[in-house]
């Protein structure tokens, strides 16, 4: 099934992207004034970032690479994006009251490839204060299985039991240590994979700089032209390189264990129930001013001893096919 999915994706993407690229070129030729770069409009719906993604694997075979990437930080109240959470849904999940910004790679000429998107959920600013980043929501899509998982994580630093099969060269036993802060003139996201036998064996990092702000759909179309295609090509190329290094190829866990998602949630609750996590959660609560607000997520509580542990919001869905 995965092979058919991949072949269909390649064939359909080639045809649709070629046709839509020609239409984009025609649109540019017919536009009297080209889309402005570097616009300083503070009320723009989208902030554009350029940077680099780096992956580093230390075991069982050393493997590292990096490539240039472009991301959009979208104010979802001003520009909702189909196929993603609405701002109201994100606020409900995160129990926030302010803006919701989505870090993502927008669809380009009919194709979308987003291994990771992040919703930054803020609380409304009080008079004389800045908006506070209260919660993040990760949206992880695997390739080429067409699956997506969304889960909440604490800004700053959080530890999450791996909930999705994202690579045929990684098993499901790892935990994701995620670091992310509120984007500004620069942004960074770092994910470290912690494994019970391999240790801290894999790191993925995104570092990017703000280059401009815009609300122009034409500017977005030209800025991100073929960006998803480049990401997809990089994924498959690096998979071939790992295979040539004799890194073991693993089947999707659904063929071996139908309960792998339930087991991931159980491991995650164990992480969140640990003393170290509870201590870090309290520190994060004090830093973000949410010490008395955790109880707002009333439908996600589990209890362990005397401590009340919030069960992480986590939802699996089928992702849209990349060319849809």
pLDDT at 43: 77
Buried-exposed string 242-276: b where 16+ CB fall within 10 A, e elsewhere: beeeebeeeeebeeeeeebbeebeebbbebbbeee
- Taking alpha carbons only, the member of 95, 116, 139 closest to residue 231 is 116
CA 150 vs CA 119, 203, 250: distances in Å: 10, 20, 23
Q: Per the omega criterion (within 30 degrees of 0), is the bond before 269 cis?
A: no
pLDDT tens-digit map of 32-56: 665 555 444 557 999 999 999 999 9
**Percentage with pLDDT > 90 across the chain:** 68
In the block, tokens 């500004």 appear at 184
pLDDT at 125: 78
pLDDT tens-digit map of 130-147: 789 999 999 999 977 889
pLDDT tens-digit map of 154-198: 999 999 999 999 999 999 999 999 999 999 999 999 999 999 999
Question: For the residues 189-211, what does the mean pLDDT come to?
Answer: 97
pLDDT at 235: 93
Which DSSP string corresponds to 157-169?
A: EEEEE--S---TT
Q: Say if residue 299's pLDDT is above 70.
A: no
Strands 132-141 and 116-123, bridge-based pairing: antiparallel
Could you tell me the residue ranges of all domains in the chain?
Answer: 2-318
pTM: 0.86
Chain centroid, CA 222 distance in Å: 22
Tokens of 201: 């064996």
Q: How confident is the model at residue 21 (pLDDT cuts 50, 70, 90)?
A: very high
Q: How far apart are CA 284 and CA 152, in angstroms?
A: 14
pLDDT at 209: 98
Q: Which of 58-72, 120-134, 283-297 has the highest mean pLDDT?
A: 58-72
């Amino acid at each position: 099934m995965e092979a058919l999915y991949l072949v269909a994706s390649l064939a359909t993407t080639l045809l649709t992207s070629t046709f839509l690229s020609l239409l984009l070129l025609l649109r540019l030729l017919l536009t009297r004034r080209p889309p402005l770069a570097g616009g300083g409009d503070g009320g723009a719906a989208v902030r554009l970032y350029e940077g680099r993604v780096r992956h580093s694997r230390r075991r069982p075979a050393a493997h590292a690479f990096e490539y240039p990437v472009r991301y959009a930080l979208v104010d979802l109240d001003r520009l909702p994006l189909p196929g993603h959470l609405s701002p109201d849904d994100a606020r409900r999940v995160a129990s926030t009251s302010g803006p919701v910004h989505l870090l993502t790679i927008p669809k380009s000429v009919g194709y979308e490839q987003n291994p990771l998107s992040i919703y930054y959920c803020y609380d409304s600013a009080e008079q004389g204060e800045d908006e506070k980043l209260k919660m993040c929501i990760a949206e992880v899509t695997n390739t080429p299985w067409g699956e997506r998982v969304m889960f909440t994580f604490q800004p700053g630093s959080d530890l999450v039991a791996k909930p999705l099969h994202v690579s045929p060269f990684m098993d499901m036993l790892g935990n994701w240590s995620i670091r992310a802060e509120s984007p500004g003139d620069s942004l960074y996201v770092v994910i470290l994979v912690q494994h019970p036998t391999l240790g801290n064996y894999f790191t993925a990092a995104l570092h990017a700089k703000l280059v401009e702000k815009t609300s122009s759909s034409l500017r977005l179309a030209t800025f991100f032209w073929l960006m998803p295609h480049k990401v997809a090509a990089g994924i498959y190329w690096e998979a071939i390189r790992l295979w040539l290094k004799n890194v073991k190829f693993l089947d999707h866990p659904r063929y071996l264990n139908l309960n792998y998602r339930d087991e991931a949630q159980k491991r995650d609750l164990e992480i969140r129930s640990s003393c170290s996590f509870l201590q870090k959660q309290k520190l994060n609560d004090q830093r973000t001013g949410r010490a008395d607000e955790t109880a707002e997520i009333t439908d996600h509580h589990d209890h362990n001893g005397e401590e009340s542990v919030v069960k992480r919001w986590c939802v699996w869905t089928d992702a849209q096919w990349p060319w849809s």
